[in-house]
């Protein structure tokens, strides 16, 4: 029940989301900014799940 996998996926989603938001700002794409924000939030949630799983394992 290790949370390492969830935390890694969360970090990746958060990073990709931040990149999408940056590209959206540069290209003035509201759609890309929104997608990036959603992916960033998904990543944050995945990281929290991973931390909870790690605490439950201890």
- Token pair listed for 41: 């939030």
Taking the C-alpha atoms of residue 42 and residue 52, their distance in angstroms, rounded to an integer, is 15
Report the distance separating Cα 44 and Cα 36, nearest Å: 12
Average pLDDT, the chain: 94
* Long-range contacts at 18-21 (CB < 8 A, ≥ 24 apart): none
- What is the reported pLDDT for 58? 78
pTM: predicted TM-score of the whole model, two decimal places: 0.86
Mean pLDDT of 9-37: 97
Residue 57: is its pLDDT beyond 90? no
Q: So where are the chain's domains?
A: 4-57
Q: What local confidence, expressed as pLDDT, does residue 1 receive?
A: 57
């Amino acid at each position: 029940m290790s949370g390492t996998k969830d935390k890694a996926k969360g970090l990746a989603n958060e990073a990709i989301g931040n990149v999408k938001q940056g590209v959206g700002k540069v290209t003035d794409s509201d759609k890309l900014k929104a997608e990036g924000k959603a992916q960033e939030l998904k990543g944050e949630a995945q990281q929290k799940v991973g931390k909870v799983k790690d605490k439950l394992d201890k």
